[in-house]
Chain A
Amino acid sequence: MDVTHRQLRRCDVVVAKGRIDAETVKTLSEALALIKKAGRYKIVLNLKEVTYISSAGLSELIVTQNTCKQMKRGELVLAEVPPRIREVLDLAGLTALFNLYETESEAADHF
């Protein structure tokens, strides 16, 4: 699991790679926590190269979405969600709670 982060003018972009499970979710949580701690709540999470996400990872997305949405115009949006992960989001009814975009630049344009 690898996470990179860059700050754009209107939002922050986080690119995750690899497996997000109960062990590796900490890496993602820490990256998201740093952004929130800096008072930034407009976040794009690119999942293109994520091979697997467990409920521990999905819980982190829900927690972050809740925090961001409590802030003025804050939101966590998802980009380039792989088909299997999209199916899992659908199954748990999470697709309705996140805006999903085909590309990272479309996701950034959300803000």
Chain B
Amino acid sequence: MDPQNSQLTVAGYFKNLTEVSQFIDQAAARAGLDERATYAVRMAVDEACTNIIQHAYGGEGRGQIRLLCETQAEGLQVTIFDQGTPFEPMHVPELDPQAPLQERQPGGMGVFFIRNLMDTVEFKFGTPQGNRLILFKRRESTS
């Protein structure tokens, strides 16, 4: 594997989110992302892995999550693979940042953060390698 790329496979337990986060921080440093962009990728990947455990696998300990980080000319690409039930992000109700407190529902914010923190987000389901979520963050991105 290219030394600019890295791979990690973890069992689908919430306790492994810390290890995933450390892995992302290392990849972001290698890709030259600044602190703000690193935080954004860390959060998007954390939310994605949490959704995989909760929704695609339907609970902890039911499958693995594989992450592939690739340094590209303009930033960092993270691909997340799982073998769970395809999860349709279009069916997730859009979070309304203007909604008052009493209308806020606990949960459902993960996809909102993934979409808003990354520069590109692509979901692919039912591939020979299972489900794939491809995230890209540009170097020195302001979003």
Contact = CB atoms under 8 A, between A and B. Distances in A.
A50 interface: no
A22 B107 contact: no
A92 B97 contact: yes
Nearest to A56: B50
Interface string A12-37: 00000001011100000000000000
Nearest to A23: B14
Nearest to A1: B18
Nearest to B17: A21
B68 to A, nearest CB: 21
B53 A22 contact: yes
Contacts, number: 73
Interface stretch (B39-47, B77-85, B119-127): B39-47
Contact of A22 (B50, B100, B102): B50
A94 B107 CA distance: 14
Residue of A22, A88, A97 contacting most chain B CB atoms (<10 Å): A22
B21 A55 contact: no
Interface of B is mostly: helix
B102 A55 contact: no
B50 A21 contact: yes
Nearest to A84: B39
A55 B109 contact: yes
Interface of B: 13-15, 17-18, 21, 35-36, 39, 42-43, 46-47, 50, 53-54, 95-102, 104, 106-107, 109-110, 112-113, 116-117
18 contacts: A19-B21, A21-B17, A22-B14, A22-B53, A52-B46, A55-B47, A55-B50, A55-B110, A58-B109, A63-B106, A66-B104, A84-B35, A84-B36, A87-B36, A91-B113, A92-B112, A93-B96, A97-B100
